[in-house]
Amino acid sequence: MASYPHFQVKRNKQTKAVGVFDKGRNFNKGSDNLTKSQKLMNGIAEWAAFYRSRPDIFAEEYLGLSLKPFQKILLYCMIVYNYTAFFASRGLGKSYLTALFCVIMCILFPGTKVVIAAGQKSQGMKIVTEKIPELINQSKTGMLKREIKGSIRTSMNTDDPNVEFLNGSWIKVVASTQGARSARANILILDEFRMIDPKIYKNVLRRFLAASRQPGFLEKPEYKNKQEYLERNKEIFLTSCYYKFNWSYERYKVFIKAMLEGKKYFICGLPYQIAIKENLTNREQLLDELSEDDLDEIGWLMEMDCLFFGESEKAYFKTEEIQEVKVLQFPVYKKEVQFLIKNKNMIRKKEENEIRVLSCDIALLGGDANDSSVFTLISAKKNKNGTRYKREILNIESHQGLHPETQSFIIRRLFEDFECDYIVLDRQGNGISVYGYLCRKQYDEERKKEYMPFYSMNEKDDIKLSAFHTEDEYEEKIYTVSPSEEFNHDIALDLKDKIINKRINFLVSRNDIREYFTSEPWFNKLSVEEQIELLNPYLQTVLLENEMVLLERIEHPKFVKLKEQSGKRKDRYASLAYGNYFISIKEKELESKRDEVDLSKLPTQVSSLNIRL
């Protein structure tokens, strides 16, 4: 027997029925002629109807959970409306709220079938394997555990987790693939639905909702064949905001239109301020993140401000085009980071048909505080015909306020760690000073190693550069560039061409790879600083993408001219564009070699042919 503010609950071991005895909310007035059993069932019906209309009160009274105001409102909307879309900032606990909604529906509506699908199955599994156990532990009444059939561990600690309830309801997790055709559901939960293929949603997942829930009363003659008594199935869409080219933005517009027309659609977006107000996240922590120099501003806009992002009409590089070439899973790490990795599959070895280029955009001496020196590793692999290179952006480093000699040491270390073949160097501004140090013999105290001088391979006789050429032994490993209007025009066109034709690939986003890393036991044992080092190439790639989509083309009669928005930078773009352009030059060398024909190796019959034009 467990006591509650307005009633008592008693479970019968034989029937597992729940008896409700009125202690304040008297739903059975004027029922003196009813039997005890009839009064009991009427009381159950009244309480069920009441709790179905106020799931927040059910969560607090029956399950013994404390809810925030916004959680109460959302719970109500998820039950009342047939379609609900919830765009949430990070830290708002949408998975927790979804798990609570699922268990409430399964308890209050016996025989309910809930299917959870996500962009990655492991994401959907967290609702079952993590959030429902969390609810059970938080439940002050212990009633949630009693509603679930069997042991909670045997239900959840499997590769195919599901939760079964004593009243016939269940919750299952499915993969968002063509193979997920056997499931049937009354409620479809789409977690991080932006990552689900829209064709899979329309042709597979949505087809799960073929039949409505069949409560027992529908078998009675007076209710048979009456559509008005059939319950509507529900769809719940959950995600953070994303780019406007993604189908989630189109779905957002569908919901807005339907809701304004008075249909049973509900949509809301809650930014990070709600999480701060409800003490779900730390305000000072978020302020620190906002003040960081390497803040992913577009990512913050989407994931924290809860706003969709779309580049301006003047944007030269399009978000959708770049997203399509973000396919690389692992970067190449420098030596001090490589030793942290315990998974051999993540260590990438250089191949025979591959050249590697370290492309460097050097910050101006005494320039803007936002200026950074950026070092980009670009791999170029020959195609089968040996006539073209496929580019891969495998690592990016960014540094601020460093002395030219320090930058030269960084370049030499990265050159060796990445097994590079060439350096592309911006020789303007502070770049000329860095070049001067690279032209010297240098001894690296940190690594106890001497470096051979490197000279320019294309401007060796330039007056400014030749002043640094004092060594007798050197290697021509540096391709120097001097940006001009024409040069900037050429590199912009060339990079755009490689992206459109998918001849260049970037690393996947940090959020997409984070789950892979966190599933590795060795990664979780690392310090926070070491984890950041491993994830940094992914962050830098996101920042590169942000720079590119914020570059706007300005009118010019002759050249493509790109300008960054006020307060923004384009250092990473410049570093990438320089290196990509150099690889295009090397590509032309491949084509010229193909065109060279050795006549002595041709068949003798050819020389005797008399070709008439």
Q: Amino acid identity of 169?
A: S
Tell me: pLDDT of 421 over 80: yes
pLDDT at 601: 53
pLDDT at 474: 93
pLDDT at 211: 86
Measured CA to CA, the distance from residue 487 to residue 392 in angstroms comes to: 22
Buried b (16+ CB within 10 A) or exposed e, 443-482: eeeeeeeebebbbbeebeeeeebeebeeeeebeebbbbbe
Q: Nearest CA to 9 among 183, 197, 144? A: 144
More confident residue, 127 or 21: 127
Q: DSSP letter for 231, please.
A: P
Residue 580: how many other CB atoms lie within 10 Å: 26
Distances from the Cα of 223 to the Cα of 214, 227, 229, angstroms: 12, 9, 7
Q: Which residues contact 76 (CB under 8 A, 6 or more apart)?
A: 54, 55, 56
Confidence of residue 150 (pLDDT cuts 50, 70, 90): confident
> Would you kindly state where each structural domain of the chain is located, as residue ranges?
1-53, 69-277, 319-595
End-to-end CA distance of the chain: 106
Tell me: pLDDT of 20 over 50: no
Measured CA to CA, the distance from residue 348 to residue 333 in angstroms comes to: 9
Structure tokens that stand for 500 in this block: 């459109």
Tell me: pLDDT of 3 over 80: no
Confidence of residue 365 (pLDDT cuts 50, 70, 90): low
Distances from the Cα of 208 to the Cα of 188, 288, 550, angstroms: 8, 45, 41
Average pLDDT, the chain: 86
pLDDT at 454: 96
More confident residue, 140 or 23: 140
Q: Nearest CA to 504 among 349, 370, 393? A: 393
The residues with which 270 forms a beta bridge, in sequence order, are 88
Same fold, 69-277 and 319-595: no
Of the listed ranges 108-112, 524-528, 593-597, the one predicted with least confidence: 593-597
Tell me: pLDDT of 248 over 70: yes
Confidence of residue 12 (pLDDT cuts 50, 70, 90): very low
pLDDT at 23: 41
Query: Position of tokens 């048909």?
Result: 353
Tell me: pLDDT of 597 over 80: no
Phi, psi of 113 (to 5 degrees): -110, 120
Distance from the Cα of residue 395 to its chain's centroid: 18
Distance from the Cα of residue 302 to its chain's centroid: 11
Q: Which residues contact 319 (CB under 8 A, 6 or more apart)?
A: 243, 244, 245, 309, 310, 311, 545, 549
Q: List, as one string, the DSSP characters of 106-151.
A: HHHSTT-EEEEEESSHHHHHHIIIIIHHHHHHH-SS-HHHHHB-S-
Of the listed ranges 129-143, 174-188, 232-246, 291-305, the one predicted with least confidence: 174-188
More confident residue, 41 or 432: 432
Tell me: pLDDT of 258 over 70: yes
Dihedral in degrees, nearest 10, Cα atoms 213, 214, 217, 222? 100
Structure tokens that stand for 389 in this block: 């290179």
Tell me: pLDDT of 602 over 60: no
Of the listed ranges 27-31, 433-437, 446-450, the one predicted with least confidence: 27-31
Of the listed ranges 260-269, 334-343, 433-442, 564-573, the one predicted with least confidence: 564-573
Q: Amino acid identity of 408?
A: S
Three-class DSSP category at 178: coil
What angle in degrees, to the nearest 10, is found between the helix axes of 528-549 and 571-595? 70
Tell me: pLDDT of 416 over 50: yes
More confident residue, 514 or 325: 325
Q: Nearest CA to 112 among 155, 160, 74, 79? A: 79
* 179-236 per-position pLDDT tens digit: 776 678 999 999 999 989 999 999 999 999 988 888 888 888 887 777 778 889 999 9
For β-strands 454-456 and 475-481, DSSP reports them as parallel
Starting at the earlier edge strand, list the strands of the sheet with 18-22.
Answer: 2-3, 7-11, 18-22
pLDDT at 387: 86
Degrees, nearest 5: CA angle 86-90-93: 65
Measured CA to CA, the distance from residue 227 to residue 219 in angstroms comes to: 13
Confidence of residue 177 (pLDDT cuts 50, 70, 90): confident
Rg (C-alpha) for the chain, rounded Å, is 32
Q: Are 128 and 115 in contact (CB under 8 A)?
A: no
Helices (H) and strands (E) in the chain, counts: 24, 22
pLDDT at 181: 65
Topology of domain 69-277 in CATH is Rossmann fold (3.40.50)
Confidence of residue 2 (pLDDT cuts 50, 70, 90): very low
Confidence of residue 50 (pLDDT cuts 50, 70, 90): very high
* 289-340 per-position pLDDT tens digit: 888 877 888 889 999 999 999 888 889 999 999 999 999 999 999 998 999 9
Three-class DSSP category at 388: coil
pLDDT at 511: 78
Q: Nearest CA to 418 among 379, 476, 373, 391? A: 379
More confident residue, 539 or 153: 539
More confident residue, 586 or 371: 586
Degrees, nearest 5: CA angle 161-164-165: 150
Burial class (CB in 10 A: 0-12, 13-18, 19+), 440: middle
Measured CA to CA, the distance from residue 425 to residue 415 in angstroms comes to: 12
More confident residue, 33 or 605: 33
Of the listed ranges 172-176, 248-252, 289-293, 497-501, the one predicted with least confidence: 289-293
Confidence of residue 62 (pLDDT cuts 50, 70, 90): very high
Confidence of residue 5 (pLDDT cuts 50, 70, 90): very low
Q: Nearest CA to 12 among 155, 146, 142? A: 146
* 584-593 per-position pLDDT tens digit: 999 988 877 6
Q: Which long-range contacts (CB under 8 A, 24 or more apart) does 295-303 make?
A: 296/539, 296/542, 296/543, 296/546, 297/546, 298/545, 298/546, 298/549, 298/550, 299/511, 299/542, 299/546, 301/241, 302/240, 302/241, 302/242, 302/243, 303/89, 303/90, 303/240, 303/241, 303/511
Q: DSSP letter for 225, please.
A: T
Q: Which residues contact 461 (CB under 8 A, 6 or more apart)?
A: none
pLDDT at 30: 53
Mean pLDDT calculated for residue range 413-421: 96
Q: Are 275 and 281 in contact (CB under 8 A)?
A: yes
More confident residue, 573 or 297: 573
More confident residue, 295 or 92: 92
Counting residues of the chain whose pLDDT is more than 70, the rounded percentage is: 88
Mean pLDDT calculated for residue range 273-293: 89
Buried b (16+ CB within 10 A) or exposed e, 305-339: ebebbebeeebbbbbeebbebbebebbbbbeebee
Q: DSSP letter for 365, please.
A: T
Mean pLDDT calculated for residue range 462-477: 92
Three-class DSSP category at 75: helix
* 540-562 per-position pLDDT tens digit: 999 999 999 999 999 888 899 99
pLDDT at 15: 34
pLDDT at 4: 33
CATH top-level class of 319-595: alpha beta
Structure tokens that stand for 494 in this block: 């060339």
Mean pLDDT calculated for residue range 409-420: 96
pLDDT at 220: 84
Distances from the Cα of 500 to the Cα of 359, 496, 497, 544, angstroms: 21, 6, 5, 17
Q: List, as one string, the DSSP characters of 346-364.
A: GPPPPPTTEEEEEEEEPPP
pLDDT at 22: 43
Three-class DSSP category at 263: coil
Q: DSSP letter for 459, please.
A: -
For β-strands 389-399 and 504-507, DSSP reports them as parallel
